[in-house]
Amino acid sequence: MKKATAGRKVERDGANAEGRVGGDALAGNAGELHQTTGGEHPPLTTNQGLPLSDNQNSLRGSPRGPTLLEDFILREKITHFDHERIPERIVHARASAAHGFFELTRSLAKYTTATVLTEVGAKTPVFTRISTVAGGAGSVDTPRDVRGFAVKFYTKEGNWDLVGNNVPVFFIQDAIKFPDLIHAVKMEPDRGFPQSATAHDTFWDFISLTPEAMHMVMWIMSDRTLPRSLRMIEGFGVHSFRLVNAAGDATFVKFHWRPKLGLQSTIWDETVKLAGADPDYHRRDLFEAITAGNFPEWELSVQLFTKEEAEAFPFDHLDATKLVPEELVPLQVIGRMVLDRWPDNFFAETEQVAYCPSHLVPGIDFSNDPLLQGRLFSYLDTQLSRLGTANFHQIPINRPKCPFANHQRDGHMQIAVPRGRVAYEPNSLSTDSPREAPSQGFRTAPLKESGEKGRIRAESFADHYSQARLFYMSQTSHEQAHIASALVFELSKVEHLHVREAMVGHLRRVDEALAKRVAGGLALEKMPAPAHAAAPVQNMAPSPALQIIGKMKVTLEGRCVGILIADGSDGEAVNALKKAVLAAGADVKVVAPKVGGAKLADGATMSADGQLAGTPSVVFDAVAVIVSEAGAHALAKESAAIDFVRDAFGHLKAIAVDAGGRLLLEHARVEGDAGVVDVGDRKGFLSAAKTRQWAREAQVRTLA
């Protein structure tokens, strides 16, 4: 990794400004930071009218050093942003959560004193909240969006909050840009839409002027942001943290959650229809799984590396837009998390839970990641605004399960009743008041910091395209096509041609073939010039670990199969298939034209779990159609039945059919393939149902 050096001053928009990454302006070229249709720009100022020379970088003690509390500009900007919404969260407003436990299976005592990471076999209570980012609390579960993944560990030494996302990187390198990012991605303020969507001008305009976001763009345009279930997503701590052992030695660590059920995503068309069929699809799925005793489970893995190893990386691990490939630093599994109890009250727990990255325990410490440094301030300030009191830690869901005591007093909604005359430390008037504990208390890792104070980013943060290329080139051909198609879809919603062209220019730095696919999908008359690259673009070895399809777990466990029946259906065939599916670990739901069920061929009535009109095939992982010939002819007159089989086929799902089922497929003009099997071939159906029929995709849709 390149050593951090101070950037030089450059001319930008006609004014001297401290540049970053060797003097590169945000857009890559000096003078192009504010790309507009013309006109004079007033100077950007603080709320007190102080003109700003640099709105891109926080004030740091050195280019790779910690962010300084002195930075009043950062604090004003973040504070105002944190207080923009009350009481709903500005981001991560739409969420589901559950109680559970974390069990350590491998001790990290060599690296840390944190008991939660050293006591093998110990079970630590947790509360885990998984959320969308862009939409409000009333939005739907399934848009293309990053998912927040936050875990509160109620440890013996206090609460530890591991607050991350389901992708390992982020859009920006410095927290001072977070308000700009979220303002850009949220609904446009003059019209109040779109809600929970990135397919609009303000988002892509910001991205086109922020090349550091290109790696994250690859992730959000991939299938990672279209999860099939919250039980089937990964979680990442995103930042590098430090583990500190008893000797005071520090080791860098990155945290990874891996789902037991493996990864699975939806098809874009399926996602759109899911939003209409069941806006609460993910929340319902998680609730039903926990209620049924099918407790979601994740492995916790870590990547551990020293300062010396980090300096040899071809990137800067303190840059939140970068990941550490597993092939470079392998993952080590150290424990598991099981979610086994749904909240008793959604508001009291899921809504009022307050996560802060600054909540940690002795033996864990921060890195100088400038995005993390800003989050340490922002999250606490947000909770103060959202929950209305400095006493939010006394709310039951936030309260530590270990003893805690200090001299903080009073404030809005004070629940505790502190006793005695002493509310300060040190004191000589009390024999039992809390005092500092040098031998067991939290200690910051001893580190040497040096450098020139200033608003400047390290040279080592300059490479914006290499890992974006790494991610794209690591995908399967199907996933690459989905990324290209997602970019075409999103950019087709952008009204301004210059923004679309700028994005294709960035894509040319990622992969020329990808850029051509997107340019073709946008019908651009000529290829835009490649964007300026502030650092040479590296060709890094592909990382198969970044795929979904390539490492998808071939299983039916945790999935759901829908069986469509009607009057006259063969009950024996339905029950035999249902038994086989349940034995394979999947759930089964019966769908009929009427919620009361259907009268079978033998005269018996089979109850239904869902009515056909309200239970489309999009809510299932695979389907079966077991109907009589007369039933098929009757269903052929129902658009919901035609859509049921057409969508199942179009979404690449396995379909089991009897003679009547094949007749319904003919009515829907669905041609069979290897994924359409006879209902009697239960083994063949179960095998096909464990994955998507990817070979079918080229027959059912045109991708970029």
Please give the positions annotated as active site.
92, 165
**Which has the closest alpha carbon to 507: 215, 122, 203, 77?**
215
Cβ atoms of 692 and 661 within 8 Å: the answer is no
123-132/158-165 β-pairing = unpaired
Pairing of strands 158-165, 587-592: unpaired
- CA separation for the pair 569, 625 (Å, rounded): 9
Pairing state between β 587-592 and 297-305:
unpaired
Q: Alpha-carbon distance 394 to 299, whole Å?
A: 30
Which pair of tokens denotes residue 607?
Answer: 């109850």
Show the tokens assigned to 340: 């086994």
Could you tell me the two tokens for 185? 């991605």
Q: Are 94 and 141 in contact (CB under 8 A)?
A: yes
* Spatial separation of the C-alpha atoms in residues 129 and 95, rounded to whole Å: 7
Bridge partners, residue 148, by sequence: 131, 165
What are the residues whose beta carbons fall under 8 Å from the beta carbon of 704, sequence distance 6 or more? Answer: 481, 484, 485, 487, 488, 517, 518, 520, 521
Q: Residue 228 is encoded by which pair of tokens?
A: 């099939």
What is the C-alpha to C-alpha distance for residues 3 and 19, in angstroms, rounded to an integer? 17
Greatest Cα pair distance, the chain, in angstroms, is 91
Cα–Cα distance, 587 to 620 (Å, whole number): 10
Q: Which of 642, 655, 560, 629 is nearest to 593 (CA)?
A: 642
Instruction: Locate 486 and state its tokens.
Output: 């997602």
The label of the residue with tokens 């051909």 reads 477
Instruction: State the Cα–Cα distance between residues 50 and 656, nearest whole angstrom.
Output: 68
Q: For 86, phi and psi rounded to 5 degrees?
A: -140, 140
Residue 291 CB neighbour total at 10 angstroms: 9
Q: Could you give the strand order of the β-sheet that contains 587-592, starting from the edge strand earlier in sequence?
A: 610-611, 587-592, 560-564, 622-625, 655-657, 676-678
Q: Return the closest-CA partner of residue 232 out of 267, 259, 270, 266.
A: 259
Tokens of 363: 């033996």
The three-class DSSP label of residue 303 is: strand
- DSSP class per residue in 6-55: PPPEEEETTEEEE-BTTTB-TTSSTT-SS--SS-PPPPPB-TT-PBPS-S
To which H or E segment does residue 71 belong?
none
The answer to whether 18 and 136 have CB atoms below 8 angstroms apart is: no
Please list, in sequence order, all residues whose beta carbon lies within 8 angstroms of the beta carbon of residue 226, skipping any fewer than 6 positions away.
142, 144, 265, 266, 267, 268, 271
Answer whether 297's CB lies under 8 Å from 126's CB.
no
| Bond prior to 194 in cis (omega within 30° of 0) | yes
Q: Nearest 5°: CA angle at 323, between 322 and 324?
A: 130
Q: Which two tokens stand for residue 704?
A: 């970029």
Please list the alpha-helical segments (H only) found in 397-529.
Answer: 466-473, 477-492, 497-510, 512-521
CA dist 219 → 136, 165, 265, 381 (Å): 22, 12, 13, 29
